[in-house]
Structures are given as structure tokens and as C-alpha cells.
Amino acid sequence: MSLNHNRLLKPPKKLRKLINKMDGQPTPEEVHDLRTNTRRFEAMFEALSLEEQNVGKSMLKSLVRIRKHAGKVRDMDVLTSYASTIHPEGEEECSIQLLEHLGAQRKKYARKLVAETQSVGPECRKGLKSVSSILTALLTDGNDASNEKAVANATATAVRLAAQLGKPQSLNKENLHLYRLKIKDLQNVLRMAAGASSAKFIDDLGEVKDSIGEWHDWEELIVIANKVLNHGSRCGLQSELKRITKQRYDHALSVAKTLRTTYLQSSHSSKKGAAPAALLKIPRQPVWEATAMLAV
């Protein structure tokens, strides 16, 4: 069997546990785990076509709502950790003001997360328990027909996502974060393969995903600081935020371009009369080898 049993069964099991204990002020670790495992479950739901296994979409929609609430809390945790590392001389008051704002927002978002989780939690936990049973049956060696279909669906999803690595043709501030979402989806699907831990391509996807995510977080911190602080261009804290954010963007763009250079190759469109802009970027052999781990 080419799918990793533990990686498939872990997200629903972990989510049931996290949803069950979600109350008060959830810790940063709990929020991060909730968000990450929900993302992985969403990727699994699509890749394995679990809807065809009588897994209701209403449960998935509830999980997505929980994940979005968790995302807002997680953002405040990350931004607080970043803001706490910046101490421009003479800007102590601005630093404190920004941190206090982030803390207040964190509490507000956490309350909403807990309320949403408690509201739809019973439905989600029941659905996730059913999913665990379905996956266990799906991964059982005696269920060859279902196994083959699950593998075929997962492989087809990975191939479709891998084929999009060359789009858009040019990466910039406007599309880099959206490109990250594509990379994250591909990585989550590829991680379902039994041999995924040995694939350098999957690790490289993770490096690009993390680098772009860090840059985007710093961008969000600038937006918040602009709203909260009133020093304008005279604020040393805001100037430092802009300097660091530019560094993070340059690094994120660099690793994304390196990923493309390493794992994509040029191929002209075969369409008659195609314009020069129709130059295509298609995956190299290591990408197809990573997707093939789902099928062999």
C-alpha cells in the first residue's frame, strides 16, 4: 500500500482530541495544531474523494470555520513573537502599544474560536470518528478496490497540483502568497505517501512555504502597526518593520525562484501560431518521482 497509514489517520484523531479540550484561552501550541491538522484533513478530504465515502460536507464546512478562527488567533501569536524582538531606541512606548493591541486581539479571537468550537464541536467529533473508521477500512489490505481508487484519486490530485508549479509565470508581491497556498496543498498531498519523508522535493516545498509565510506575516504586522501607531514616517519602530519585511520578501522570492529553477524546465507550447509568451514551465523528474510515491 502506497499511502502512509499513520499520516492519514493522525489528523482526524488529533482534531477530535483538540476540539474536545478547546476551552478558556487555548495555548499557541493547541491553536497551531488545530490549524495545521485541519489543513491536512482538508487536503486528505479532496485527495481521497472522501465525499464519495459518505463523509458529509457539512462537517468539513464546520472544520473550515474553526480553522479560520484558529488562523486569526495563530496570526496574533506569531505577530506577537515577531513584535517582541524589535526594540528600536526611543520607541519603547510604541513597542508596548503594539504588543498590547496584539494581546487584546488575541483574546478576542480566542473567545470566538472557543465559541465556534463548542458550537459545532459535537458534530465535528462525531464526523471525525466516522472518518477514522472509513479510513481504517479504506487502508485495510483486503479492501483492494477501495485502496486502488484512493491511490488513484490522491495521485491525480498531486499531478494536477504539481503541474501548476509554473503558474503564474512571474512571481511578485501580489501573487506570492497565493503561490504559497498552492505549494502548501501540494506538500500536504505528497506527505500522504508512504515514502514521503525521504523526498527532498517535499522538504524544499516546505522551505518555500515557510519563507513566504514569514514574509506575509511581517507584512500583516506592518498593516496593524500603521493602524495602531500614530508616529507616521517618524516612527523608528515602523521603519524597522519595513526594513525587516523587505529582507523577508527578498528571501522568500529567492527561495521560490530557486525551487522553480531546480524543479521546473521550459517547454514551448505545441499550439500552432502560439505567441512567445506561451513558454511553459513543466515539472522535472524529481517532481514526478514524488507524485509517483503515492501510486507505487
* 236-283 confidence digits (pLDDT tens): 899 999 999 999 999 999 999 999 999 999 876 555 555 454 567 899
> Mean pLDDT over all residues of the chain?
89
Q: What is the pLDDT of residue 1?
A: 46
Q: What is the pLDDT of residue 135?
A: 85
CA distance 124 to 117: 9
Q: What is the pLDDT of residues 85-126, one digit of tens each?
A: 998 888 889 999 999 999 999 999 999 999 999 999 999 999
Domains, the chain? 5-292 (1.40.20)
Identify the band that residue 160 occupies on the pLDDT scale cut at 50, 70 and 90. very high
CA distance 151 to 35: 25
CA distance 126 to 56: 11
Amino acid at position 171, single letter? L
The beta strand positions in 181-288, using DSSP E, are 264-267, 280-283
How crowded is residue 247: how many other Cβ atoms within 10 Å of its Cβ?
A: 12
Q: What is the pLDDT of residue 144?
A: 67
How crowded is residue 175: how many other Cβ atoms within 10 Å of its Cβ?
A: 12
Report the Cα–Cα distance between both ends of the chain, in Å, rounded.
8
In contact, 112 and 69? CB cutoff 8 Å = yes
CA distance 102 to 81: 10
Is pTM beyond 0.85? Reply is yes
Q: What is the pLDDT of residue 143?
A: 60
